[in-house]
């Protein structure tokens, strides 16, 4: 777990970065503003990605060990797109084949519309970048 976390108030940002090592093919997970190496995925897990990818899918999941649907993010739908109230990921970008950062072309998919939601916000300024807001109350049923 990484602390502190935000809950309707002061926003605590976390920075994660996945980088492909061009020498050995490892995908490194880096954290924080100094991009500390946390660990890596070996290249054997990415046999179909020896070159560069044309897509970079990502997602999230709310999980519970009991058969319920737990809250996700702040526990509310992200209809407000508000960084003080909604859970979000910002500065989402991809690197092209020459190492330039680009805004990704994004599409959304929600599996349980009544329980969870997602909202995309394209780049409006360089500091915030492309963002995805997410959340929902889940259900006890």
Write out pLDDT tens, residues 22-32.
788 898 998 87
Residues ≥6 apart with Cβ < 8 Å to 115:
69, 136, 137, 138, 139
At residue 6 the predicted structure's pLDDT band, cuts being 50, 70 and 90, is low
Write out pLDDT tens, residues 7-63.
666 777 778 888 888 788 898 998 877 888 899 999 998 777 776 677 777 777 888
Q: What is the mean pLDDT of residues 112-124?
A: 84
b or e along 10-47 (b: 16 or more beta carbons within 10 Å of the residue's beta carbon)?
eeeeeeeeeebeeeebbbeebeeeeeeeeebeeeeeee
Q: How far apart are CA 46 and CA 27, in angstroms?
A: 9
Q: How far apart are CA 94 and CA 55, in angstroms?
A: 9
pTM over 0.75: no
SS3 36: strand
């Amino acid at each position: 777990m990484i602390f502190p976390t935000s809950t309707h108030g002061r926003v605590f940002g976390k920075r994660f970065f996945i980088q492909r090592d061009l020498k050995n093919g490892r995908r490194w997970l880096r954290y924080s503003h100094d991009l500390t190496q946390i660990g890596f995925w070996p290249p054997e897990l990415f046999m179909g990605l020896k070159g560069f990818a044309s897509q970079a899918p990502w997602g999230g999941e709310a999980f519970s060990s009991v058969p319920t649907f737990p809250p996700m993010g702040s526990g509310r739908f992200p209809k407000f797109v508000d960084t003080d109230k909604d859970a979000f990921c910002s500065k989402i970008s991809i690197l092209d084949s020459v190492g330039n950062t680009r805004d990704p072309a994004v599409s959304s998919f929600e599996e349980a519309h009544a329980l969870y939601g997602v909202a995309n916000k394209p780049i409006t300024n360089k500091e915030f970048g492309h963002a995805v807001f997410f959340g929902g109350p889940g259900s006890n049923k």
